[in-house]
Amino acid sequence: MGLTVRNIRIDGYLQGEFSTPAVDPFAQYVELDLIGTGPNNSTNIVDSTNKNVITRYGDAKISTTVSATGSIYLDGNGDYLTAPSSSSLAFGTADFTVETWVYFNAVSGYQVFAMLGSGLDGAPAAYNAWAFYTSNDSEGRNLNFNRYSPTFAGAVTPWSPSTGQWYHVAVSRSGSDLRFFVNGIQIGSTFSNSTNYAVVNSDPLTIGRFQANAGVVYSSDLYLNNLRITNGAARYTSNFTPPTRS
């Protein structure tokens, strides 16, 4: 929240109320921030940190269908985004937070927010440094943050989102405590997690796509705003008010 200042005298005149911009105390740790706003059908999807070059695949674009200011639209038919693999996007054993606003058009299969590694270099196994996604399969409906390299490690908690509404979802690790949050409320347990989320291959950061194994690809059908990766800081360790969606 910004600082509000009232009744300031400038050049002898009493001025009205104004507010300073909010300052992000974790700004130095932000490695990617896809805000996703813009005019309808724009293909100008950029990382506001200027640290990553975003590449579009399929018909990935900005849409104003569910947000007047625009959001990233991935239609579940081959649309996804990538950014080059980078050690700055791999958390190792450090604190981290991955979060986004998401509006689901589908909740079947695997709806991927982001994963470091697309699975291609690990075929037939879907090798990745980390993956944040929802699943709806024989194991139930869950929110997941996992690593496969090829040993599986991570955390899974039950969650049953609906289509047609916005959610703020986040996963945050502080020390060895990993937590999931939906709309600022922790869901599930606090997991003991000391996994080393290190880079496993040269696959890019992939948004909206998951290759489960050779020839099996899941494309996400959703809208995204404010996909942010914070490496080196746990933004959330208890319930919080979600940041405003752009």
Closest of 148, 132, 146 to residue 229, by C-alpha: 132
Residue 156 in contact with residue 132, Cβ under 8 Å? no
Q: Name residue, tokens 């060895």.
A: 176
Q: Which residue would you say has higher pLDDT here, 214 or 206?
A: 206
For 77-90, write each residue's pLDDT tens digit. 999 999 998 999 99
Amino acid of residue 231: N
| pLDDT score, position 1 | 42
Q: How confident is the model at residue 238 (pLDDT cuts 50, 70, 90)?
A: very high
Helices vs strands, H then E, count in the chain: 0, 21
For 113-132, write each residue's pLDDT tens digit. 999 976 555 555 567 889 99
> What would the two tokens of residue 103 be?
């509006």
| pLDDT score, position 215 | 66
For 44-81, write each residue's pLDDT tens digit. 999 999 999 999 999 999 999 999 999 999 999 999 99
Which H helix or E strand runs over 153?
strand 152-158
| pLDDT score, position 9 | 47
For 14-37, write each residue's pLDDT tens digit. 444 444 557 899 999 999 999 999
